[in-house]
Structure 1
Amino acid sequence: MSAEKTSNVQERSKNKQNNTETNEEEADLYLDQYNFTTTAALVASVDRKVMVTVKTGQIYFGILRTYDHFANLTLEFVTERIYLSRDDLENLDKFEPTLNLSAREYNKPNKYYEYYAERPVGCYLIRGENVVFIGEVDIDKEDKPLRYLRKIDWSLANSIMNKKNRIENRFNRQQAVRYSRKGFS
């Protein structure tokens, strides 16, 4: 009787070992397919061309050379790009920020960009807390959208964007005052 118990215990322990080995193998397979949402996801993008959007709205294209655990990025051969629509050029005096800040309103399909401007920046260090979006750029397809846009002078595009930003900032400050009067902070 005791010999049967010991053989059953031995079989159970072997089954447990086999189960843990298969679970570990499954876990390894799972981790290989897992998309990391931390800075570890940037490993595959090192030495490749990326697009980075920062909090202030600037868009940078460059080759990602290094990064750290805070997502501080070092980019090389960087160009800054601005996209403008016809309304931005023609009706800037009538520009008013929209009250509806929903993604649907902001990403309307009829919002066409017809102009762009770019300037070379060189080597650039972007602090991680300012990064909103980073994505790898397919260098074979990068210039295709630019064929349908007209390139304009950087100083003109930059002055238009600065004016739009000043108007939006003034509007946001006024909204904050209105909300604080109603008890919202």
Structure 2
Amino acid sequence: EKHLVLLRDGRTLIGFLRSIDQFANLVLHQTVERIHVGKKYGDIPRGIFVVRGENVVLLGEIDLEKESDTPLQQVSIEEILEEQRVEQQAKQESEKLKVQALKERGLSVPRADTLDEY
């Protein structure tokens, strides 16, 4: 069965589920990493993929009959990676402006990489 897996880091994998255990550890075969940007998407072939259960956010079966009924446009890997890079840069600029505006008002936001997880 073809499945979609959403990972904790935000990546989306699509592949054939070959194995799963009680910890939700997965083995996916003929896996592709799907990148979405706006109304476009691109698939990067990844082959056999082993995923630790702690990284799985969502696992769902894909209906093969409805798979092609998508309003999204498939583009090349290079094009989707470039659009993803542009989107991430815009997001970083927006975040910088937000932090700057907060600083001007006397507020500070701790950076996510400096926060203690526990």
The 1:65/1:156 distance shift into structure 2, 3 A limit, reads: same
Q: Provide the rounded CA distance (Å) in 1 between the counterparts of 2:91 and 2:8.
A: 14
Does the C-alpha gap of structure 1 residues 165 and 131 become closer, same or farther in structure 2, counting only changes over 3 Å?
farther
**1:51 Cα deviation from its structure 2 partner:** 0.3
What pairs up with 1:44-55 in 2 under 5 angstroms? 48-55=1-8
Q: CA deviation at 1:159?
A: 3.3
**Deviations along 1:6-27, whole A, 9 cap, x unmatched?**
xxxxxxxxxxxxxxxxxxxxxx
> Can you give the 5+ residue segments of structure 2 that lack an aligned partner in the other structure?
111-115
Shift in Å, 1:168: 4.6
The structural deviation recorded for 1:166 is 5.8
Aligned-pair RMSD on alpha carbons?
2.7
Q: How many residues align?
A: 102
Partner of residue 140, structure 1 = 65
The corresponding residue for 1:161 is 84
CA distance in 1, matches of 2:56, 2:91: 21
Equivalent residue, structure 1, for 2:25:
72
For the residue of structure 1 that corresponds to 2:109, the secondary structure is helix
- Specify the code of the residue in structure 2 equivalent to 1:51: L
Distance in 2 between residues matched to 1:58 and 1:140, nearest whole Å? 24
Please state whether the residue corresponding to 1:179 is helix, strand or coil.
coil
Task: From the CA coordinates, give the structure whose radius of gyration is larger.
Answer: 1
What is the CA distance between 1:123 and its match in structure 2?
A: 0.8
Specify the alignment match of 1:129 in structure 2: 54
1:152 aligns with 2:79: no
Letter in 2 for 1:137: I
Q: 2:63 corresponds to which letter in structure 1? A: D
Q: Could you tell me which residue of structure 1 aligns to residue 15 of structure 2?
A: 62
- What is the TM-score with the length of structure 1 in the denominator? 0.47
Letter in 2 for 1:123: I
TM-aligned CA deviation for residue 164 of structure 1: 3.5
Cα distance in 1 between the residues matched to 2:89 and 2:108: 18
The 3-state SS of whatever aligns with 1:160 is helix
1:35-58 residue CA offsets vs partner (Å, 9 max, x unmatched):
xxxxxxxxxxxxx11100112221
2:88 and 2:22 map into 1 onto residues whose CA distance is 31
How far apart, in 2, do the equivalents of 1:63 and 1:135 lie?
11
Residue 169 of structure 1 and its aligned partner are, at CA, apart by 6.4
